[in-house]
Structure 1
Amino acid sequence: MDKNIIRRGIGFVSLLLIFQITHAQFRTPKILKHPKRILVKSLYHLNSPYRETNICISPDGKYMFFMTGRGGQPWSGKPSRRWKGRLEYSGDIWYAQKVGKKWGTPRALPATVNTDNGEDEPNVSPDGQKVYFQSWYGNWEQKGGPYYSASLYGSHWSRPRGLGGGINAFFQNRQDMGEELATDGASMSADGKTFIVAVGPYDGNMSLYISRKDRFGRWSFLKRLSVSTMGNERSPALSADGKTLYFASSGYGGYGGLDIFKTTINSDGSHGKIVNLGAPFNTVYDDYGLALTAQGDEAYFIREGDIYFADTKDANPEMKPNTSTLMVTGVVTNQKTKKPMGTIITFMHAQTGQVITRVTSNSITGQYATMIPLKDKNFIQAVRKNGFNNYNKGFSIQIKSGLNKVIANIKLTPVEKEEVIIAKKDPVIPPKIIKKITKVVIKECAAETGRDN
Structure 2
Amino acid sequence: VIMRIVFALLTLVFISSCSTAQTGYSTSDKKAIKLFEEGQQAPNKIDPATNRPDYRSGIELMDKAIAKDPKFWEAHMLAGEFSEIIGDYATAIGHYEAALGINPNHSPTGSTYFYLANLQQAMGDYDNAIKNIDIYVRNRNANPDLVRQAYTIRESCTFALESIRNPQKFNPINIGPGINTKDPEYFPTITVDGKMLLFTRRIDDDRSPYKQQEDFYVSLLEKNIWGKAVPMPININSVMNEGAPTISADGRSLIFVACADDITDNQNYGEGRTGKGSCDMFYTHRNGSRWLDPVNLPGSVNTGLWESQPSLSADGKTLYFIRRVSKRGEPVDSDIFVTRLLDNGQWSTAERLPRNINTYMEEESVLIHPDGKTLYFASRGHVGMGGSDIYMSKLNADGTWSNPENLGYPINSKYDENSLLVSADGEIAFFASDREGGYGDLDIYYFEMPEEFRPTKTLYFDGIVFDATDKKPIPGKFQLIDLKTGKEVIFSEADKITGEFLVSLPLNQEYALNVTYPGYNFFSKNFNMTAKDGLESIHMDVPMIPITSEGPTLLANVFFDLGKSTLRPESNIELNKLYEFMVKNPTLKIEIGGHTDTRGDDKANLTLSNDRAKAVYDYVVAKGIDPKRMTFKGYGETKTIVSDAEIAKLASEEAKEAAHQSNRRTEYKIIK
What TM-score does the superposition give when structure 2 sets the normalisation length? 0.51
1:212 aligned partner, one-letter code: R
Matched, 1:221 2:350: yes
Aligned to 1:107: 230
238, 261, 276: which is aligned to 2:406? 276
Which stretch shifts more, 192-201 or 332-341? Answer: 332-341
Matched, 1:245 2:380: no
8 Å Cα contact 1:93-1:119 kept in structure 2? yes
Number of corresponding residues: 404
Per-residue CA distance 1:253-291 (angstroms, 9 max, x = gap): 544433322222558885324333234533443322010
1:291 aligned partner, one-letter code: L
Matched, 1:141 2:279: no
Offset at 1:320? 0.9
Offset at 1:348? 4.6
8 Å Cα contact 1:244-1:264 kept in structure 2? yes
8 Å Cα contact 1:209-1:225 kept in structure 2? no
Cα root mean square deviation, aligned: 4.5
Q: Structure 1 residues 373 and 287, CA, compared in 2 at 3 Å: closer, same or farther?
A: closer
278, 281, 284: which is aligned to 1:150? 284
Aligned to 2:74: none
Matched, 1:407 2:539: yes
Distance in 1 separating the partners of 2:385 and 2:154: 20
Q: Structure 1 residues 77 and 248, CA, compared in 2 at 3 Å: closer, same or farther?
A: same
Note the residue ranges of structure 2 that are not aligned, 5 or more in a row.
Answer: 1-107, 109-138, 260-268, 326-330, 435-440, 554-576, 583-589, 598-661, 663-672
Distance in 2 separating the partners of 1:271 and 1:262: 10
Matched, 1:316 2:450: yes
Distance in 1 separating the partners of 2:189 and 2:500: 20
What's the secondary structure of 1:245's corresponding residue? strand
8 Å Cα contact 1:291-1:300 kept in structure 2? yes
166, 175, 192: which is aligned to 2:316? 192
Q: Structure 1 residues 134 and 432, CA, compared in 2 at 3 Å: closer, same or farther?
A: farther
Q: Structure 1 residues 433 and 80, CA, compared in 2 at 3 Å: closer, same or farther?
A: farther
- Aligned 1:289-304 pairs, distance under 5 A: 289-304=419-434
Distance in 2 separating the partners of 1:103 and 1:408: 27
Distance in 1 separating the partners of 2:206 and 2:308: 23
8 Å Cα contact 2:186-2:444 kept in structure 1? no
Which stretch shifts more, 184-193 or 373-382? Answer: 373-382
Note the residue ranges of structure 1 that are not aligned, 5 or more in a row.
Answer: 82-86, 175-180, 437-452
Distance in 2 separating the partners of 1:332 and 1:235: 36
Distance in 2 separating the partners of 1:223 and 1:354: 25
Distance in 1 separating the partners of 2:523 and 2:536: 23
1:310 aligned partner, one-letter code: Y
Distance in 1 separating the partners of 2:281 and 2:579: 30
- Aligned 1:64-143 pairs, distance under 5 A: 64-70=197-203, 77-78=206-207, 80-81=209-210, 88=212, 90-136=213-259, 137=269, 138-141=273-276
1:101 aligned partner, one-letter code: N
8 Å Cα contact 2:159-2:385 kept in structure 1? no
Bigger proportion of residues as strand: 1
Aligned to 1:257: 387
Per-residue CA distance 1:219-263 (angstroms, 9 max, x = gap): 123425422334332211111122212222333454443332222
Which stretch shifts more, 268-277 or 59-68? Answer: 268-277
Larger Rg: 2
Offset at 1:300? 1.0
Distance in 2 separating the partners of 1:161 and 1:77: 26
49, 59, 63: which is aligned to 2:196? 63
Which stretch shifts more, 149-158 or 47-56? Answer: 47-56
Bigger proportion of residues as helix: 2
- Aligned 1:34-49 pairs, distance under 5 A: 38-49=171-182
Distance in 1 separating the partners of 2:172 and 2:596: 49
Distance in 2 separating the partners of 1:166 and 1:21: 38
Offset at 1:46? 0.5
Offset at 1:12? 4.1
Matched, 1:366 2:499: yes
1:43 aligned partner, one-letter code: G
Aligned to 2:514: 381
Aligned to 1:231: 361
8 Å Cα contact 2:511-2:528 kept in structure 1? yes
Matched, 1:167 2:301: yes
Offset at 1:167? 1.2
Offset at 1:65? 1.7
Distance in 2 separating the partners of 1:361 and 1:264: 31
What's the secondary structure of 2:418's corresponding residue? strand
> Percent of aligned positions with the same letter in both sequences?
24
Structure scoring higher RCO (CA < 8 A, sep ≥ 6) equals 1
Q: Structure 1 residues 308 and 289, CA, compared in 2 at 3 Å: closer, same or farther?
A: same
8 Å Cα contact 1:40-1:280 kept in structure 2? no
8 Å Cα contact 2:478-2:515 kept in structure 1? yes
1:219 aligned partner, one-letter code: S
Distance in 1 separating the partners of 2:533 and 2:152: 36
8 Å Cα contact 2:312-2:318 kept in structure 1? yes
Distance in 1 separating the partners of 2:332 and 2:596: 59
- Aligned 1:429-448 pairs, distance under 5 A: none
Offset at 1:113? 2.4
2:453 aligned partner, one-letter code: M
2:315 aligned partner, one-letter code: D
Which stretch shifts more, 37-46 or 426-435? Answer: 426-435
Per-residue CA distance 1:49-87 (angstroms, 9 max, x = gap): 22222211223322222121226xxxx653554xxxxx6
1:391 aligned partner, one-letter code: F
2:316 aligned partner, one-letter code: G
8 Å Cα contact 2:315-2:491 kept in structure 1? no
Q: Structure 1 residues 364 and 103, CA, compared in 2 at 3 Å: closer, same or farther?
A: farther
Q: Structure 1 residues 147 and 16, CA, compared in 2 at 3 Å: closer, same or farther?
A: closer
Per-residue CA distance 1:318-364 (angstroms, 9 max, x = gap): 1211x344532123345555555443333356699875533222344
Distance in 2 separating the partners of 1:49 and 1:333: 45
2:334 aligned partner, one-letter code: M
Per-residue CA distance 1:350-409 (angstroms, 9 max, x = gap): 6998755332223444321123577973312323353x5543323244468999732222
Aligned to 2:336: 208
Which stretch shifts more, 156-165 or 397-406? Answer: 397-406
8 Å Cα contact 1:225-1:269 kept in structure 2? no
Q: Structure 1 residues 200 and 352, CA, compared in 2 at 3 Å: closer, same or farther?
A: closer
2:538 aligned partner, one-letter code: V
Offset at 1:149? 1.6
What's the secondary structure of 1:318's corresponding residue? helix
Distance in 1 separating the partners of 2:231 and 2:340: 29
1:395 aligned partner, one-letter code: F
Q: Structure 1 residues 403 and 133, CA, compared in 2 at 3 Å: closer, same or farther?
A: farther
What TM-score does the superposition give when structure 1 sets the normalisation length? 0.72
Q: Structure 1 residues 434 and 318, CA, compared in 2 at 3 Å: closer, same or farther?
A: farther
